[in-house]
């Protein structure tokens, strides 16, 4: 009887802790919610039946014909780009005259629900490239009436863009900007251990890390999490912004995507899940305008990595920009600082805007209203 009693008490304690954690996370989501006008949500159906959501933020005064697709990276969502000003590229570019569409890949947030007979843990990067990317391009072109669109991708979002540009949908892109995208995967023992651990923990239902991120979010800025310097330069992101980012931006990772990253890191490759398509080799065939951007202290996409991919890109219209103290910037940029660093709104965002504007089709200026005599 004592054993049964202690087992019951243990079960009650576990359920109580779970209940407290649920209330804690719900409170964190509410307290750290984004206090800005939300973008409009549009549905996008892929050829294989998966329904995506893209978040539209239109320009108050549209100055350029081409819309901008803003594509997030691994373990993130649309808040990568559509956050609270001044740390929001979507707001910044919309004010500059671009219609902006922040993507959420299949299995992420509002694009989470799979069609019948499909499982989210089975999703690979291949499907983001063959299904999601082309469908999203078609949707924003139909929405805006434009002939081509710009692709701006952070980390994995840039890699997907590189691969999409190599396929039929590439002709519908006016330019591609890859921000902190690691085309090369040289040996890094720490990153390899982290990806291997994530791949093991993701079986069989994927690695659902957003709950953990939301649980820990209120402590960030007061304490520094182990290994956080792999993702960001903690000194470059204000503590309140760190807390809000972890409460809103982090998302789950599918088992197969993590397995694919494991393959890339183990073999220094950027290729399809079955190894039959080498997207890195395909960069030499690109002809659209390309901007390669990154941070000087980014552990995932190092300066050496960025220079190597820049040299590999075949386009004659290409640029390389590495942010850091060496070029007079406020601080050396890590992976996430490119978006949320204190210097990002006046060092990174203007460079993105200016490159897009230089390659965009300007629309006729709106006629001014009548003047009083």
Please, what's the b/e burial string for 236-260 (b: 16 or more CB within 10 A of its CB; e: otherwise)? bbeeebbbbbbbbbbbbbbbbbbbb
Residue range 86-114: mean pLDDT, rounded? 96
Bigger pLDDT: 211 or 269?
Answer: 269
Which pTM value belongs to this model? Answer: 0.93
pLDDT at 201 over 60: yes
- pLDDT at site 373: 36
Q: Are 334 and 229 in contact (CB under 8 A)?
A: yes
Tell the CATH topology of 39-359.
Answer: Rossmann fold (3.40.50)
- pLDDT at site 227: 62
The three-class DSSP label of residue 49 is: coil
3-state helix, strand, coil in the chain (%, to 5): 45, 15, 40
H/E run at residue 214:
helix 210-216
pLDDT tens for each residue of 34-73? 999 999 999 999 999 999 999 999 999 999 999 999 999 9
- pLDDT at site 13: 78
Residues 297 and 265: their CA atoms lie apart, in Å, by 19
372 — pLDDT class (breaks 50, 70, 90): very low
Joined tokens for residue 64? 């350029």
Domains in the chain: boundaries: 1-31, 39-359
Residues 83 and 109: their CA atoms lie apart, in Å, by 15
pLDDT at 182 over 60: yes
Q: Are 309 and 315 in contact (CB under 8 A)?
A: no
Q: Are strands 290-295 and 173-179 parallel, antiparallel or unpaired?
A: parallel
- pLDDT at site 371: 43
Joined tokens for residue 32? 């750290």
What percentage of the chain carries pLDDT values higher than 70?
Answer: 94
Q: Are 325 and 367 in contact (CB under 8 A)?
A: no
325 — pLDDT class (breaks 50, 70, 90): very high
pLDDT tens for each residue of 204-248? 777 778 888 898 889 888 877 666 667 777 788 899 999 999 999
Closest C-alpha to 129, from 186, 251, 47: 47
> Exposure of 43 by Cβ count < 10 A (0-12 exposed, 13-18 middle, 19+ buried)?
exposed
- pLDDT at site 365: 80
Query: DSSP letter at 58?
Result: -
H/E run at residue 141:
helix 133-144
Closest C-alpha to 338, from 157, 150, 162, 87: 87
Q: Are 289 and 358 in contact (CB under 8 A)?
A: no
């Amino acid at each position: 009887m004592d054993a049964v009693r202690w087992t019951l008490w243990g079960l009650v304690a576990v359920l109580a802790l779970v209940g407290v954690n649920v209330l804690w996370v719900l409170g964190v989501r509410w307290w750290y919610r984004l206090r800005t006008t939300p973008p409009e949500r549009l549905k996008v159906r892929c050829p294989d039946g998966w329904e995506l959501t893209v978040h539209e933020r239109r320009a108050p005064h549209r100055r350029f014909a081409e819309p901008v697709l803003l594509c997030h990276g691994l373990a993130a969502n649309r808040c990568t780009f559509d956050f609270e000003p001044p740390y929001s590229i979507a707001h910044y570019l919309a004010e500059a005259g671009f219609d902006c569409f922040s993507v959420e890949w299949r299995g992420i947030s509002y694009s989470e629900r799979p069609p019948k007979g499909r499982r989210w843990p089975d999703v690979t990067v291949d499907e983001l490239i063959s299904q999601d990317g082309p469908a999203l391009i078609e949707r924003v072109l139909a929405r805006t009436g434009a002939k081509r669109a710009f692709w701006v991708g952070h980390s994995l979002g840039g890699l997907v863009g590189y691969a999409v540009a190599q396929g039929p949908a590439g002709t519908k892109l006016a330019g591609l900007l890859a921000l902190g995208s690691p085309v090369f995967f040289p040996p890094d023992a720490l990153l390899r251990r982290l990806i291997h651990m994530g791949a093991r923990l993701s079986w069989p239902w994927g690695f659902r890390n957003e709950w953990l991120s939301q649980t820990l979010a209120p402590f960030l800025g007061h304490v520094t999490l182990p290994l956080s310097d792999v993702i960001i330069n903690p000194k470059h992101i204000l503590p309140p912004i760190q807390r809000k980012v972890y409460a809103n931006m982090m998302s789950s990772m599918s088992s197969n995507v993590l397995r694919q990253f494991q393959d890339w890191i183990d073999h220094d490759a950027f290729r399809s899940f079955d190894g039959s398509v080498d997207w890195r080799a395909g960069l030499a065939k690109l002809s659209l305008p390309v901007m390669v951007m990154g941070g000087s202290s980014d552990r995932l996409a190092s300066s050496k990595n960025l220079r190597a991919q820049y040299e590999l890109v075949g386009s004659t219209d290409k640029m390389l920009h590495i942010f850091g103290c060496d070029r007079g910037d406020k601080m050396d940029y890590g992976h996430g600082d490119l978006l949320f660093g204190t210097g990002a709104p006046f060092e990174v965002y203007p460079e993105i805007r200016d490159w897009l504007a230089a390659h965009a089709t300007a629309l006729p200026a709106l006629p001014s209203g009548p003047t009083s005599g």
